Structure 1
Amino acid sequence: MWLLDRFLKKLVRQGQLIIVESNGQRHSYGVSEGEAPVTVRFHDPEAPHFVASHPYMGSGEAYMDGRMTVDDEDVMGLVRLILKNTIRDNANMLEGGIIPRTLQHVTNRFQRFNWEKRSKQNVAHHYDLDDRLYNLFLDKDRQYSCGYFTDPNNNLDQAQLDKKIHIASKLALESGQRILDIGCGWGGMALFLSQIADVEVLGVTLSEEQLKVARKRAKEAGVEDRVKFELIDYREVKGRFDRIVSVGMFEHVGPPYYKSFFNHCRDLLTEDGVMLLHTIGRLGLPGATDPWTNKYIFPGGYCPALSEIVSASEHSGLILCDVENLRLHYMYTLNHWYENVLAARADIIKLYDIRFYRMWTFYLAGASAAFQYGQMCNYQIQYTRKRDSLPITRDYMFERETQLRAKS
């Protein structure tokens, strides 16, 4: 316990954390500041050292395995308390414990090489889970990406509808256009674009489960003739498109492939084409994906700094027209998902087991806290091939968004 005790004495300055060892001995860190303390209980004598030795990986695995529990199952409270303390001068304390950071960064860099076969394996790891899982915590349209909260009090369905409207307004759709949706998920964005405009859409994914659902939805909507979905890597897409939209997929591309991604998108766009990239990003300088997330949630995933995106796209000749940082919207989105998962506890355990349920709550809690206290954000970046492809002011976005909301 001495190593964890030393670690927490330096770390916790805001809020109060109580640790109860397996022998019943209690330790208190920080002050309550009017909020209820978060109480963590260890159930074997080696668990505290395991967590302190490599905090990101250790805390996640200890919680999943039941070696560490949180009173009232308040893992969100625990993660928030830890992360809000790491935004100070000791922010690096969670990046590896006694494991050398250099080794972690070398490993992380290797894991970002998402060649085609590996990309499909990485996608299957997360998106080919039991189809019923996503019904339990996502919105009705299965939008598995950052919503857009015109009001923080809006429900999840409204926020995800507003996200689709917000993106569509930036695409400046016109009748008869061809649209490419890179990383189409379960088809919600592609189907929405076909509903609001007379356009043809091709959605591509590497998830076999998502493909089945997307094609079924297009058939049920009677639009399978103009909204098509294919199981294909973005690198293999051929043809020309008037618009390209990519939502929540760029996180899986990997920095070694950023330049080729943008080069290929440029080649796929018509001369007057417009592209809208929606991706989780990183405030400030480039960083690294924490090892627990890389192992259990998004293998090969990486959230880029804005500088990494822009420097890569500059080589393609694409013109960056607009950048928006959705600073807090993903926190609100994740909070809804987290609450939905808590409400579906029994169903998720029945689908998988208690370990999976703990893993999923730890993932969502950590992600929410990262958008609230850490370096995570969400970028929407608009590109064109020509500087006169869009109106010279941004008024068209707001006008179109108002029109679409009025019709929804």
Structure 2
Amino acid sequence: MRLLSHLLSRFVEKGSLTVITVKGQRVVFGSGLDGPKVTVRFMDEKLERDLFFNPELTAAEAYMDGRLVFEDGSGVFDLLLLFSVNRKGLGSHPVQQALRKTWRALRRFHQANPVAKAKENVSSHYDHPADFYRLWLDETMAYSCAYFDFPDQPLADAQRAKFRHVAAKLKIEPGMKVVEIGSGWGGLSIYLAKQCGAHVTAINVSPEQLAESRRLAEAAGVADLIDFREVDYRNLTGKYDRLVSIGMMEHVGVTHFDDYFTTVRALLAPGGFALVHAIGRMAPPGTTAPFIRKYIFPGGYVPALSEVFASTERTHLWVADMEVLRLHYYWTIRAWRHRFMARYGEVEAMMGVRFARMWDFYLCAVELGFLHGSNMVFQLLLSERRDDVPVRRDYMFQDELMLAARDGAAPATEALP
């Protein structure tokens, strides 16, 4: 335990971590104050060394493989909460600083997303059975940040509020041609067709999502208004009155930001404008965490706002409006995790023990990243000319109220803090 003890004694300042070694020795790190108390058992001696050199990836893999076992009622969320409130101590260790320097040097390689590779990376996360996602997503099947009137608002209501918020910002009128880049399970495209009367071209590179999207559009009675296509955004042509892209930029990779925004600009008809909704960081440019990079979103990267604006500058786009959603994704992922854990036995039966543990770790990690880390969500309105977007924001709120009345949304009963 000598190497690992050196790291953990510097790392754990708030709360406590009790490690039970293979030989049964109990070693306690931390004061036990101002944080969770976590107890883990190591099932093999090699784990001590592996954790010292790459704790973030090794802890996840060890839990997935049964080499790291939680005791005394502890769980993955408690361990990651302990990491979350002590992250500065871990990052200041010389070995961890060297590891992060290596990741930064390799980030362009990690985020390379040429067309063929991009499809492979997306498939690794999204081409799971629709029934798996249906277990824990709400009925809208929206798999992106919702928009809450109050923190405990029902998730489906918050997702529909997000659809309204986006539609209002885009000021969509009946008959408009709209393109959605990265259409997910089709919920937003269906909303824009059904509630706004738009003709939507929705593109995706996930066959599983496209098949389910077509089924849902048929059930909603708008299949004739939506053209779902399996195509990479860089290969799309045509001109559209509006463009929307939700949760797509995170999959582009830092070397392809200019490709992405150049495509956005090229697809807009004269007078048209776009909405981009993506996860960002309030911190300087960084890297993708090793567990997320390897198991969850290969090729993915959450950009710093400085990187986003540098690319819009290079591609000659006006940023006509920006909104930062700071806690909405935390509330969204918290709801997902609770729903996931309520169906955990079914997830295990459907996808296997290792997969269920991987997603348990993932949902805990990202929830805490939006609570204690630097992650947030931003929404940009982009246009080729300075006055394509209305020059006052009042229209957004007026249109949002009109859409709420049209789709029968109940008014908020609580206010945000």
Instruction: Report the TM-score range of the alignment, normalised by the length of the smaller protein.
Output: over 0.9
After the TM superposition, which residues 319-338 of structure 1 pair with which residues of structure 2 at under 5 Å, given as runs?
Answer: 319-338=318-337
How far apart, CA to CA, are the structure 1 residues paired with 2:157 and 2:94?
A: 37
Q: What is residue 81 of structure 2 aligned with on the other side?
A: 80
In structure 1, what residue type is equivalent to 2:262? N
Task: Please name the residue that 2:263 is paired with.
Answer: 264
Q: How does 1:239-250 map to 2 (within 5 A)?
A: 239-250=238-249
How do residues 97-112 of structure 1 correspond to structure 2 at under 5 angstroms? 97=96, 100-112=99-111
Deviation for aligned residue 1:93: 4.6
- After TM superposition, list the pairs within 5 Å mapping 1:158-197 onto structure 2: 158-197=157-196
Aligned counterpart, 2:415: none
Residue 54 of structure 1 aligns with which residue? 54
Give the counterpart letter for 1:261 in structure 2. Y
Give CA-to-partner distance per residue, 1:53-104, whole Å, 9 cap, x none: 1111111111111110223362111101111111x4x362589648643432
Quote the Cα distance in structure 1 between the aligned partners of 2:355 and 2:93: 23
SS in 2 for 1:151: coil
Shift of 1:36: 5.4
Is 2:90–2:96's contact at 8 Å kept on the other side of the alignment? no
How far 1:172 sits from its partner (Å)? 1.1
How far the C-alpha of 1:296 sits from its partner, in A, is: 0.6
User: In the superposition, relative to structure 1, how do residues 199 and 60 fare at CA in structure 2: closer, same or farther (>3 Å)?
Assistant: same
How has the CA–CA distance of structure 1 residues 46 and 93 changed in structure 2, closer, same or farther, with 3 Å as cutoff? farther
| Aligned-CA RMSD value | 1.7
Return the alpha-carbon distance in structure 1 between the equivalents of residues 118 and 329 of structure 2: 24
User: Where does the alignment leave 5 or more consecutive residues of structure 1 unmatched?
Assistant: none
Aligned to 2:306: 307
Change (3 A) 1:185 1:215: same
SS of the equivalent of 1:382 reads: strand
| Aligned counterparts, 1:7-26, within 5 A | 7-26=7-26
Q: Tell me the amino acid that sits aligned with residue 79 of structure 1.
A: L
Change (3 A) 1:36 1:302: closer
Contact residue 282 and residue 305 of structure 1 kept, 8 A = yes
Do 1:251 and 1:301's aligned partners in 2 also have CA atoms closer than 8 Å? yes
Tell me the amino acid that sits aligned with residue 247 of structure 2.
G
Q: Does the 8 Å CA contact 1:200/1:226 hold for their aligned counterparts?
A: yes
Q: Give the Cα separation in 2 of the matches to 1:306 and 1:135.
A: 33
Is 2:35–2:82's contact at 8 Å kept on the other side of the alignment? no
Task: Quote how far apart the aligned CAs of 1:165 are.
Answer: 1.4
Q: Is contact 2:279–2:376 with CA below 8 Å preserved after alignment? A: yes
Contact conserved, 2:141 with 2:185, CA < 8 A, in 1?
yes
Map 1:330-349; keep pairs closer than 5 Å.
Answer: 330-349=329-348
Distance 1:73 1:66 in 2: 15
Question: After the TM superposition, which of the residue ranges 32-41 and 55-64 deviates more from structure 2?
Answer: 32-41
With structure 1 as the length reference, what TM-score do the two structures score? 0.95
Which residue of 2 is the match for residue 274 of structure 1?
273
The 3-state SS of whatever aligns with 1:275 is: strand
Tell me the distance in 2 between the aligned counterparts of 1:95 and 1:185.
41
Structure 1 residue 251: Cα displacement: 0.6
In the alignment, which residue of structure 2 is the partner of 1:114? Answer: 113
Q: CA deviation at 1:33?
A: 3.2
In structure 2, distance between residues paired with 1:96 and 1:399: 54
* Segments of 4+ moved more than 6 angstroms: none
| Whole-angstrom distance in 2 between the partners of 1:346 and 1:338 | 14
Where does structure 2 lack aligned partners over 5 or more consecutive residues?
410-417
Partner of 2:203: 204
> CA–CA distance in 1 between the matches of 2:317 and 2:295?
35
Contact 1:284/1:375 (CA < 8 Å) preserved in 2? yes
Question: 2:141: which partner in 1?
Answer: 142
CA distance in 2, matches of 1:187, 1:214: 5
Conservation of the 8 A alpha-carbon contact between 1:242 and 1:269: yes
Give the 3-state SS of the residue equivalent to 2:86 in structure 1.
Answer: helix
Correspondence for 2:378: 379
Shift of 1:247: 0.4
CA–CA distance in structure 2, aligned partners of residues 403 and 366 of structure 1: 37
Distance 1:299 1:321 in 2: 31
TM-score, length-scaled by structure 2: 0.93
1:395 deviation in Å? 1.0
Distance 1:259 1:16 in 2: 45
Partner Cα separation in structure 1 for residue 394 and residue 243 of structure 2 = 21
How much has 1:5 moved relative to structure 2?
A: 1.4
In the comparison of the two structures, how many residue pairs are matched?
406
My pick for the range that moved more, 253-262 or 383-392, is 383-392
- Aligned equivalents of 2:93, 2:351: Cα separation in 1: 29
* 1:225 partner SS: helix
Q: In structure 2, the residue corresponding to 1:48 is in which secondary structure?
A: helix
Cα shift at 1:193: 0.9
Could you tell me which amino acid in structure 2 is paired with residue 40 of structure 1? Answer: V
SS of 2:19 mapped into structure 1: strand
Asked if the contact 1:15/1:37 (under 8 Å) is kept, the reply is yes
Q: 2:263 corresponds to which letter in structure 1?
A: H
Question: Matched residues in 1 for 2:24 and 2:174: separation?
Answer: 69
